[in-house]
Structure 1
Amino acid sequence: MSNKKYITLGFATVAVALTILFSANLFAKNTESTKKEASRLEALAKFTKVISIVEKYNVDAVTIEDLMDKALQGMMTNLDAHSNFLTQKDYKKLKVQTDGEFGGLGITVGVRDGALTVIAPIEGTPADKAGVKPGDIILKINDESTLSMTIDEAVSRMRGKVGEPIEITIVRKGEAKPLTIKIVRGIITIESVYTKTIGDDILYVRVTSFDKKVVEDISKAINKKKAMTKGIILDLRNNPGGLLDQAVGLVDLFVDKGDIVSQKGRKSSDDQVYSAKSSNTITDVPVVVVVNGGSASASEIVSGALQDHKRAIVVGENTFGKGSVQVVLPITKEEAIKLTIARYYLPSGRTIQALGVKPDIEVFPGKVQQDENGFSIKEADLKKHLEEELIKADTKVSSEKKAKENGNKKDIISKEQLYKDIQLKESVDIIRALIIVKG
């Protein structure tokens, strides 16, 4: 009986102790929650007080609605370069971007170190033809400074009626003075995938942006040339990105297992992992990916994932470094906010944001250095060489006519074209080495 009494008292003591501990924890949590709520109310009171003071004493009359819009714009743009408050006018423009025709320049812009920076001109667009380059900093749009503009405001000002001229003032690395470029707005139509052949066994695939048909078009191109293809060069230079599912699908064509990219946010509901499936893989030939400072977002996911899986050699320059996820969240029927909710992470766990993808082999743009006169030949071959040059001179007119008639074999990249593009030339040399190693 005595032992039972002690056991009962022991249980009672433990129960009381647990109750006290639970109550203490609950009290601590309630206290912490109360402090947080008090802090929130204090911050909101401060905000309301400032709004009231500005409304009452500001030198220019301003409405409470205008003040709230300005406050929201300031708050969102100070979160990061891609978040923004969309007014009624901005939100309407965003919703109708894909409806009807609108004129544009054909450039993708971002904010780097606080400056409005060209990520890349889209191939074949007015900006591309006018000579806009990746890395150009846009100082002015017409006569308006961009220093206090958001990305959405800048894009809105660059859009307009087709055929209407616009001037942008840029700062370019290596140029002593700012440059003013005049561009005529045009309808932006993009052909995202181009394919050509190099020699008899290399497939060259150029992707200018990631639209909804990229994976389909590249799959068709690879399957069509599968019998002859021993290596693939994937050119993502000046590709500003696009649809995430297309980037994932493109990697999946080359990788048969493992993660491709993960998305991580503050809320677990925003977290997502995209993985490769062996059923989607269509080739195991060597791959080289060419990138530069204009390769951003989806391009960085593709190049970085293939690099992490050791499935491709990445050649060129460090990419832009845009690895965040934005969503548009309506706050009224006519207004919304664009908010960064997550970041992308590559299979190795590294982030793209602000860092970009570093190439395995760094190659800067330019021409392949050759002898100025093209006479790097032996003396014994000189006479033969000069005779060949005479033949070339005699047949120049007819050969030019023939080239014009057959389009100069547009689906083939010539040796002359390679020597004008050192990044591509290096990529070809690397893929040839990989083909030899594999074969």
Structure 2
Amino acid sequence: MRKTLWLTAILALFVISVAPQPTHAVDEDRFEPLRRFSQVLDLVEHNYVKEISRKELVDDAVKGMLEQLDPHSTFLSTEDFKEMQESTSGEFSGIGIEISMEKGRLTVISPIEDTPAYKAGLKAGDIILEINGEPTQSITLMDAVSKIRGKRGTKVELTILHKDANKPDKVTIIRDTIPIISAKSQELEDGYLYLRLTRFNENTTREMHKALEQYKKKHTLKGIVLDLRNNPGGLLTQAVSVADTFIDHGLIVYIEGRDKASRKDFMARAQDTDIDVPMVTLINAGSASASEIVSGALKDHDRSLLLGERTFGKGSVQTIIPMADGSGIKLTTALYYTPSGRSIQAEGIDPDIAYPFVKPVEDTNKDDRFIVREQDLSRHLENNGHNGKNKAERDEKAKMMLERDNQLRLGLQLVKQLPRIKEIK
């Protein structure tokens, strides 16, 4: 009996002593990669052919870690972080282009209207092969942005492979201050307003509301052609508030990350600024991110007819996380979903009416894909809908826009017929 008790006590002691070991093994597995990183860091720091500071090595390691995740996650140096804040708040210096890494290639999402890049003929889908003679094959996205941006008046040479071209072109572009006037308008016919959003920055909804209110002061608004073509996106909050202007209730968009419990819904609400007139929305391959949120919400709510070409398909959410030293991290944390639950990522938004843009005959030798140019619209938002121009001048401007843009022409025809079409439905 004593022997049995003794053996039981020994066994119990053994179980108690070995029980913590799996946790210890987990800790070993967790910290082994960090130990290996520390060893490599030490080897490079002391043996690399050139002297490199530990800070630089760690910064580059963080860049590599983030940029291996997806095309949009990245490390932002102090300067990069500051530039990103400027690009969403007012103006910055550069050529006026939105770029991304797609399948390892530096790709143009969209040029911003009336900027050096836009005037040089850069288009959505173009691939940037070289920046000032340096290949972009192994460059990071933020390094590319840094090399392309620069002081006003300086030059940058880009080697561009256009989407359907057989050989690349070298384009020299002079950098300029890029003002971001994101909402522009033009009367097409009495009561029918062309509303162009070039991107979604901090002022977009306010500028759009101002344009609508100024027009409504002297006109009865009958319909809107909303143009999101070549709009590369921007702030999620602005996309929601723009969509909320045309949708008075229900879900606009929701975002969901790795944890399903992290889902966040963005809802429309009734407000004094709501606009309830027929709409046609123009989209193309340069419509990305926030543009896709707006067009997806309008489509799912049957609020607007979508016309044009399938959108870019950038449906991931990046969270900007500031670091203590003034740098930051841009990390993909979730995906966008339209009200019907469709993910935008790599799919895009299909138009209700697929209708490719066709260049006018007189413009076939030009590089402009998007024919409605900045100078065709009010340089700034119209003053009481006039901007100093008489009615004949405004009518002529609208006529020229419609003549050169087949998608806009069809959009106007459809928006005028939408009340009747909905009654037939």
Structures share a fold, TM > 0.5? yes
Give the distance between the partners of 1:406 and 1:223, measured in 2 at CA.
19
1:115 is matched with 105
Query: In structure 2, do the counterparts of structure 1 residues 111 and 98 end up closer, same or farther at CA, with 3 Å as the change threshold?
Result: closer
Q: Aligned to 1:426, which of 403, 410, 421?
A: 410
- Asked if the contact 2:186/2:398 (under 8 Å) is kept, the reply is no
Instruction: Give the corresponding residue for 1:152.
Output: 142
Corresponding position of 2:207: 217
Judge conservation of contact 1:195–1:206 (CA < 8 Å) in 2.
yes
Which amino acid letter does the alignment assign opposite residue 83 of structure 1?
Answer: S
In 2, Cα distance between equivalents of 1:156 and 1:202: 42
Taking structure 2 as the reference length, what is the TM-score of the superposition? 0.80
Q: Does 1:83 align with 2:50?
A: no
Within 5 A, what are the aligned runs for 1:343-362? 343-362=335-354
Deviates more, 1:85-94 or 1:240-249: 85-94
CA displacement 1:68-124 (0-9 Å, x = unmatched): 233222111101111112345544655676899853101111122221111111111
Letter in 2 for 1:305: A
From the superposition, tell whether residues 255 and 58 of structure 1 become closer, same or farther in structure 2 (CA, over 3 Å).
same
User: 1:201–1:178: structure 2 CA closer, same or farther, 3 Å change rule?
Assistant: same
Please tell me whether residue 183 in structure 1 is matched to residue 167 in structure 2: no
Deviation at 1:132, TM superposition (A): 1.4
Q: Does structure 2 conserve the Cα–Cα contact (< 8 Å) formed by 1:367 and 1:419?
A: no
Give the one of 296, 310, 317 matched to 1:304.
Answer: 296
Indicate the larger mover: 411-420 or 301-310.
Answer: 411-420
Alignment RMSD (CA, Å): 3.0
Residue type matched to 1:141 in 2?
I
- Deviation of 1:179 (Å): 0.8
Report the Cα distance in structure 2 between the residues aligned to 1:261 and 1:98, rounded to whole angstroms: 21
2:320 pairs with one of 305, 313, 328 = 328
Match of 1:316 in 2: 308
Q: Return the alpha-carbon distance in structure 1 between the equivalents of residues 81 and 399 of structure 2.
A: 49
Q: Counterpart of 1:273 in 2: which secondary structure?
A: strand
Q: In structure 2, what residue type is equivalent to 1:180?
A: K
1:168 deviates by: 0.8
Measured against aligned partners, the alpha-carbon deviations of 1:259-292 in whole angstroms (never above 9, x if no partner) come to 1011222357864211011235623222111011
Task: Tell me if the contact between 1:118 and 1:138 (Cα under 8 Å) persists in the aligned partners.
Answer: yes
Query: Is the 1:117–1:137 contact (alpha carbons within 8 Å) kept by the matching residues of 2?
Result: yes
| Cα distance between partner residues in 2 of 1:123 and 1:365 | 17
The change in CA–CA distance for 1:152 and 1:411 in structure 2 (over 3 A counts) is farther
The 1:411–1:250 alpha-carbon spacing in structure 2 relative to 1, beyond 3 Å, is farther
What SS class does the counterpart of residue 241 from structure 1 fall into? coil
Cα distance, 1:89–1:215 mapped onto 2, change above 3 Å: closer
Aligned-partner SS, 1:173: coil
Residues 256 and 281, structure 1, Cα contact 8 Å, conserved in 2:
no
Calculate percent identity across the aligned residue pairs: 45
Query: Highest relative contact order (Cα 8 Å, sep 6+), 1 or 2?
Result: 2
CA distance in 1, matches of 2:32, 2:122: 49
* Structure 1 SS opposite 2:393: coil
Tell me which of 393, 396, 401 is aligned to 1:417. 401
Structure 1 pair 412/436, CA: closer, same or farther in 2 (3 Å)? farther
Distance of aligned partners of 1:438 and 1:64 in 2 relative to their CA distance in 1, 3 Å threshold: closer
Structure 1 counterpart of 2:250, from 251, 258, 262: 258
Is the CA contact (8 Å cut-off) linking 1:102 and 1:160 kept in structure 2? no
In the alignment, which of 152, 158, 163 is matched to residue 162 of structure 1?
152
Q: Measure, in 2, the Cα distance between the counterparts of 1:100 and 1:293.
A: 25
Structure 1 unaligned spans of 5+: 1-23, 371-404
- SS of alignment partner, residue 179 of structure 2: coil
Change (3 A) 1:248 1:116: same
Matches within 5 A, 1:64-79: 64-79=54-69
TM-score by length of 1: 0.77
CA contact (8 A) 1:106 1:188 kept: yes
The structure whose Rg is larger is 1
Structure 2 unaligned segments of length 5 or more: list them. Answer: 1-14, 363-388
Equivalent residues in 2 for 1:97-116 (5 A)? Answer: 103-116=93-106
Letter matched to residue 75 of structure 1: M
Give the counterpart of 2:130 among 114, 136, 140.
140
Q: Which is further off, 74-83 or 198-207? A: 198-207
SS in 2 for 1:183: strand
SS at match of 1:135: coil
Q: Which stretch of structure 1 is more off in the superposition, 108-117 or 211-220? A: 211-220
Match of 2:331 in 1: 339
- Could you say which residue in structure 1 is the equivalent of 2:377? none
